[in-house]
Structure 1
Amino acid sequence: MKRIAYACCIGVIGIITAEFGVIGFLPQVAAHYKININTAGLLLSVFSIAVAFGGPFTTLLSSGFNRKHVMLGSLGLYLINGILSALAPPFWLLLIARALPALLHAVYYSAAISVVMSTAKEKDHHKMMAIALSGISIATITTIPLSSYLASAFSFQHSFLMQTIITAIGLVSVYFVIPSMPVSKKVNYLNQISILKKPVIWLSLLVTFLMFAAEFSMYGYFADYLLSVKHMSPKGISYLLLLFGATGLVGNWIAGKVLNNSISLTSIFFLVGCNIVVPLGLYLTGYSTLTVSIMVGLWGILYAPGFLIATSAISAEAPEALEFANGMVNSFANFGVTAGTLLAGYIIFHKGINQIPWLAVTFGTLAVVLVFAKLLTARQALKIQLNTTKAEPVA
């Protein structure tokens, strides 16, 4: 069922391009609308806030509908957003056009993951999820840089037009490749929400929050860090970012293989490597291009599977409410992105950009501690369950 995973992947490329592609042409947007760069940045923050607050509710409400129709509806709204954005409407309308599809951001991811898991053999679940979510890394090295190039060479409207074309390709792929997948039984929304009674679910969500806060406290200012601290040239930085995205594809492939063995051990390995070893390595090493390149390449491998690992963990812990659980993961991930970016900005202003690796290490260490806490909680729950089973009288 690889073709289903690849169809989902194309949709992910379109959505990620729409979300992060705007970062590269915010100056052009600010100049066009005669606003400052902070105001233009609302195009990104409004999107993230809409995903964070709307994700759990929209995924819950959509869980009772045909998954193929849900994916088509989500991409259709992104398509309308792209067309409207390419027309350069008033800025307030552009913000609304960005916010509306963001409400279905988590819906697409949750439905895609559910489709992949429903159509693949259990032993291939993580591999197929890795293919579907590799769209994140692919967009990082292709369509997101292309957005910046089109805006600088032509106009930001051309960038939005390119995003629209990618989304349209994703929509067509889903339409022709994904089979109709109606919900076989009536969805009980209260039963889905009841997964929040499990302590292990909240621990997983907090791990997700801390993981993305750690990652984006560095990634959000990575270009500036390489320029100001490592003294890399702008051209060198562009090559390093390309290396970062390319090695991310390798990371997704590796994670897809090893997750079948142990989700918890995989989480610990990637968390420690991405959010403790690499930030410390960048902080403690000098200005050698080779050394920095090795650290960036290693970081790409360890960074990219973050969402795959978070999704795999929550899916294993709440198989009875896949859509809602993954919607919560998406929400907490975006809260983490916001928290990491904001706190890193505070650190940069008061301490200097060279100190942000320590923020990543702090978030990363807390995340690892919570993974161990989750393991202990799961073991205690299993022990209680076994004791209860033994205590029950035999009929």
Structure 2
Amino acid sequence: MTKRIAYVGCLGVIGIISTEFGVIGILPQIAAHYHITIDKAGLLLSAFALVIALTGPFMTLVTSGYDRKKLMYSAIAVFLITGVVSAMAPPFWLLVLVRILPAFLQPVYISNAIAAAVSSGHKKQEHQLMGIVLGGIAISMVTTVPFATYIASIFTWKASFIVQTFISAMAFIAILKFMPPMPSQQKKSFGSQLKILRIPAFLISVAMNFFMISAWFSTYSYFADYLGKAKEMDPQMVSYMLFLFGLTGIVSNWVAGKMLGKSIPKTTAFFLTGTILIPIALFYSGANTWTTIAVIALWGFMYAPCFLNAAAYMISAAPGALEFANSLAVSFGNLGVTTGTFLSGLVIARQGIVFAPWVGMCFGILALLMILLRTQMEKRKLKPQLQH
């Protein structure tokens, strides 16, 4: 039963991530269809993420007294409706609007899916069960996101949204059929949850999460455009690269789950080094296709566990507030998606797509500094205790 709940939660995450990030592979086609620039098309990603960033923790607290199963299938139902409307190619303003609506419920779904999985198992299984649920991010990167991009390259970008709708429908059925009712034991008070915001180590962890996700999405948001213009790959080749990116990501998500059980700070720092290594590797790979493919494989490996690492790193500094800490991880992670996408878009508009990875490196260095700062703070706090 324990792992079944985690796997059902994982399927829902696949549906959610397919909707949020499925547009990454088709942004150039959407921009062409609506006769807009690539940075304006990026609004479909950044607006979605900004809503999550601004409303996530509040929505999670407001819904904390409700049955987790009901919250999860209600959230997925909204994602399902969004996919149907998006596939009809409505005017661009309406397309942005219908993508924003499910964003209000994304943190509610993810935080409740993690809490449901973790609460059904033993404490020692916590990171493993979190890894299964958040593994949906890596799985979607290797399955639905590249598949939707591939289908769009054969037919039209609207076909990508049909794929997303199908996945959401599967997740909705799975939650109804395989998940038991999970009524909340008690509605958590705002005060009991908000007290974690007074913990300095937690606030530093929030900043680390923000900088880390900003770093990765400075380039990943424009993955298709970058490979098309900087590396001269056609849309079909880009879909293969997304598949490779996700494939190595599945492996690294499993590896990260194991590593987190040994050391959360070291694991997070290890994968963060990719934000510095990848821009350098992309620059020196030049026009060599095989070298670029190798770099993309490494890129996917280093990127994939970022959400898992962020959640684990923040929760480790927030005892007794699992759902709220998770929602903040999702919220500030998506603020990072918005910031990375927006600032990189500005740089791309002024300097060109080849400069996007260097924006990510700057954010990556800031994230590593936050890890160093928290580690030093915790060492100073521990020193007097050891002396006594």
TM-score relative to the length of structure 2:
0.90
Aligned counterparts, 1:63-212, within 5 A: 63-89=64-90, 91-151=92-152, 153-212=154-213
Please say if residues 55 and 328 of structure 1, whose CA atoms lie closer than 8 Å, have aligned partners that are also in contact: yes
| Secondary structure, counterpart of 2:341 in structure 1 | helix
Look up the equivalent residue of 2:251 and give its one-letter code.
V
Residue 338 (structure 2) pairs with residue 338 (structure 1): yes
CA distance in 1, matches of 2:243, 2:305: 17
The verdict on how the C-alpha distance between 1:227 and 1:81 changes in structure 2, with shifts beyond 3 A counting, is: closer
Report deviation, 1:86. 4.0
How far apart are the structure 2 equivalents of 1:9 and 1:35?
Answer: 36
- Matching residue's letter, 1:109: I
Output the amino acid matched with 2:61.
L
Equivalent residue letter for 1:287: A
2:283 maps to a residue whose letter is Y
CA distance in 1, matches of 2:111, 2:46: 22
> What is the CA-CA distance between 1:187 and the residue it aligns to?
1.3
Instruction: Name the structure 2 match of 1:241.
Output: 242
Greater shift in the superposed pair: 312-321 or 354-363: 354-363
TM-aligned CA deviation for residue 5 of structure 1: 1.7
Give secondary structure in 2 for the equivalent of 1:300.
helix
Name the CA distance, whole Å, in 2 between partners of 1:88 and 1:202. 41
Give the Å deviation of 1:87: 4.7
1:348 aligns with 348
Offset of residue 385 of structure 1: 6.8
Using the TM superposition, name which of 135-144 and 233-242 deviates more.
233-242
In percent, how many aligned pairs have the same letter? 46
- How far does the alpha carbon of each residue in 1:313-332 deviate from its partner, in whole angstroms, 9 at most, with x for none? 12222231222211111121
Question: What's the counterpart of residue 299 of structure 1?
Answer: 299
Shift of 1:30: 6.1
Q: Could you report, residue by residue, the CA deviation over 1:5-37 in whole angstroms, capped at 9, with x for unpaired residues?
A: 2111110111111112234445665677x5635
Amino acid corresponding to residue 367 of structure 1 in structure 2? A
Q: What amino acid is aligned across from residue 177 of structure 1 in structure 2?
A: F
More off after superposition, 218-227 vs 165-174: 218-227
Instruction: Give 5+ residue unaligned stretches, structure 1.
Output: 391-395
Tell me how far 1:50 sits from its aligned partner.
Answer: 1.3
Q: Is the 8 A contact 2:47 2:338 kept in 1?
A: no
Number of residue-to-residue matches in the alignment: 386
Q: Does the 8 A contact of 2:271 with 2:302 survive in 1? A: yes
The residue identity in structure 2 corresponding to 1:289 is T
Change (3 A) 1:40 1:354: closer
* CA-CA distance at 1:168 after TM superposition: 1.6
Which whole-Å CA distance do the structure 2 matches of 1:281 and 1:26 have between them? 24
Cα 1:157–1:128 change in 2 (3 A) is same
Structure 1 window deviating more from structure 2 (117-126 vs 295-304): it is: 117-126
User: Contact 2:24 / 2:224 at 8 angstroms: preserved in 1?
Assistant: no
Task: Specify the SS of the correspondent of 2:99.
Answer: helix
With over 3 angstroms needed to count, the CA separation of the structure-2 counterparts of 1:357 and 1:148, relative to structure 1, is closer
| CA distance in structure 2 between the partners assigned to 1:166 and 1:343 by the alignment | 31
Q: Shift of the alpha carbon at 1:101?
A: 1.2
Instruction: Give the distance between the partners of 1:354 and 1:321, measured in 2 at CA.
Output: 41
Give the C-alpha shift of residue 307 in structure 1: 0.1
Residue aligning to 1:216: 217
What RMSD, in angstroms, separates the aligned Cα atoms of the two structures?
2.6
| Offset at residue 233 of structure 1 (A) | 5.4
Question: What amino acid is aligned across from residue 51 of structure 1 in structure 2?
Answer: I
Cα 1:164–1:320, aligned 2, differ >3 Å: closer, same or farther?
same
Find the residue that maps to 2:22 and give its secondary structure: helix
Quote the Cα distance in structure 1 between the aligned partners of 2:11 and 2:21. Answer: 16
**What is aligned with 1:271?**
272
1:226 is matched with 227
The Cα shift of 1:352 comes to 3.9
Conservation of the 8 A alpha-carbon contact between 2:142 and 2:247: yes
Q: How far, CA to CA, are the matches of 2:26 and 2:239 in structure 1?
A: 15
Offset at 1:113?
Answer: 1.0
Amino acid of the residue matched to residue 324 of structure 2? F
- Rounded Cα–Cα distance in structure 1 between residues aligned with 2:231 and 2:323: 42
* Residue in structure 2 matched with residue 360 of structure 1 by the alignment: 360
Name 2:9's counterpart in structure 1.
8
Of the structure 1 ranges 227-236 and 325-334, higher mean CA displacement relative to structure 2 is found in 227-236
**Is contact 1:275-1:364 (8 Å) kept?**
yes
Q: Report how far residue 223 of structure 1 moved.
A: 3.4
Structure 2 equivalent of residue 377 of structure 1 = 377
Which sits farther off after the overlay, 3-12 or 237-246?
Answer: 237-246
How far apart, in 2, do the equivalents of 1:161 and 1:348 lie? Answer: 30
* Partner-residue secondary structure (3-state), 2:262: coil
Distance 1:69 1:304, change over 3 A: same
Larger Rg: 1 or 2?
1
**Whole-Å Cα distance in 2 between the matches of residues 48 and 356 of structure 1?**
19
Secondary structure at the residue paired with 2:321?
Answer: helix
